[in-house]
Amino acid sequence: MKRYAGVLMSVTSLPSKYGIGCFDKAAYDFVDWLEKAGQKYWQILPLGSTSHGGSDDSPYQAYSAFAGNPYMISLEDLIKEGLLSRRECNAVDFGDNPAKVDFDKLHENRFDLLHLAYERSNISQDPEFQAFCNDNHWWLNDYALFMALKSFFKEAPFRSWPEDIRMHWGFALDYYNRELYFDVEFQKFLQFKFDQQWTKLKKYANDRHIQIVGDIPIYVSPDGADVWAHPELFQLDEKNESSSIAGCPPDSFSADGQVWGNPLYRWDFHRSTGYEWWVTRMWHSFKLYDVVRIDHFRGFDEYFSIPADKGSAKYGHWEKGPGMELFRTIHARLGDVNVIAEDLGLMTDGVRKLVKDSGYPNMKVLQFAVDPTDIAFGNDYWPQNYDANCVVYTGTHDNETVVGWFGCITEEEMQMVRDYLCDQHTPLKDLYKSFIATAMRSAAKSCIIPMQDWLGLDNTARMNTPGTVDINWSWRLKEGQVTEQLCEEVRNVSKRYGRANWDALKAVEKAAEPEETASV
């Protein structure tokens, strides 16, 4: 069995110009770096169009299950197309810290530039744009109108809109499509440019033997185009208000549990349609990605349902999900697909059986293995207990960095780490390398390491702290931080533990060979 390695890093974390990582030269340079480092995978966070405000621009609370994030459109490409000038882009304030995304300034200023590019584009005459709109009308029309309405109603949640358009009535759709025609077309322009640029970048990666691991949340945003346009898919009342919402029960980490607020699916309705929406969502995801990680996979076995009018997880209860019926349907319609099942959190026999029956590799997070009460080193997250059909991580986007975690765990836990690594002497600041090596030499078919851990960064580089807002999703690489020296280190570790992507390395070697001089 071939074993591979990869790197976890959000596109938004690239050291691009103009405030946020995007599909520009920095992305192509990173793909080249991955190729030289012998990596197989670039795992990213969801590419969805994020909301702005209380959700902290979370990629897991997108306005659509199908639309892309306009923040990721390369302004450099728009400059090359003549739609923007460099002076116009340089004049915009995107924040003064290149290591952090300033979402407030980004939201305030980037869309003005994108709208200027739209006004200069003459996009309605572009046959490629027309073809894109025709091919994607099944989600694009509702999404584009939804976003135009969000702007028209000053970003208010759609449930506060006038009843006719809040309820998605046909005559209201016709009226607002006429009144907001150019705003709707602008949103379609953004999706066209996103698709155009992402398709080009993904092909560049694939041509260099790098596969993209995408990430889709199980749930959709409560204030999004999917719920607004297709209320029949969700547990809503006659006014299209959520009757039950998602969350998780009280536990040792949270005495009150968590209320996520996402609308729950009407699985009986989905079943009656042959799971058409989910099949379509997965088909669309595999157009964007080579491998799809499904977040909160356990929710397909059982999901936690909280009465919306209670607003507290203390009143929630478990309900049965669609189970293997959904995945058998996906297999029947789409064939063998490359899925990673994110099965972290509360594990039950039902979840374990669903993961096993699906055949999808599940996730192992090395940080989760450390438990002083587990004196036999017997829990599922210690590498000796893995089977091959899994993906191992040192941590995920929701965890502390390894270096940050080392600084926060107890002395007893730290000793447990050193005992397992058989490493009592390496300075703490360098111990993360031994931790990475432990993951890399495990039996797991795939090993994916967050870029922050390869760099040995502390918790100032943490991507997300669950249960908090206003401090997340903003970490970015600094220019020059990903070096040739690190590339060599990653390549050597990958070779050492049998995870090197030899197709990529051979291509790099071939490209470096001098061209034969033609005989005179």
Residues with a known catalytic role: 295, 342, 398
Three-state SS string over 287-314 comes to HHCCEEEECCHHHHCEEEEEECCCCCHH
Residue 127 φ then ψ, to 5°: -65, -30
The dihedrals phi and psi of 217, each to the nearest 5 degrees, come to -70, 150
- Full DSSP string of 112-134: HHHHHHHHTT-GGG-HHHHHHHH
Could you give phi then psi for residue 259, rounded to 5 degrees? -110, 110
d(CA 508, CA 219): 40
* Residue 431, CA distances (Å) to 161, 428, 516 in order: 54, 5, 46
Helix (H) or strand (E) holding 452: helix 451-454
Look at phi and psi of residue 274 and say left if phi exceeds 0, alpha if psi is from -120 to 50, else beta: left
Q: What is the CA radius of gyration of the chain?
A: 24
At 151 the three-state DSSP class reads: helix
CB 40 within 8 A of CB 501: yes
What letter represents residue 32's amino acid? D
Q: Both tokens of residue 342?
A: 């994110």
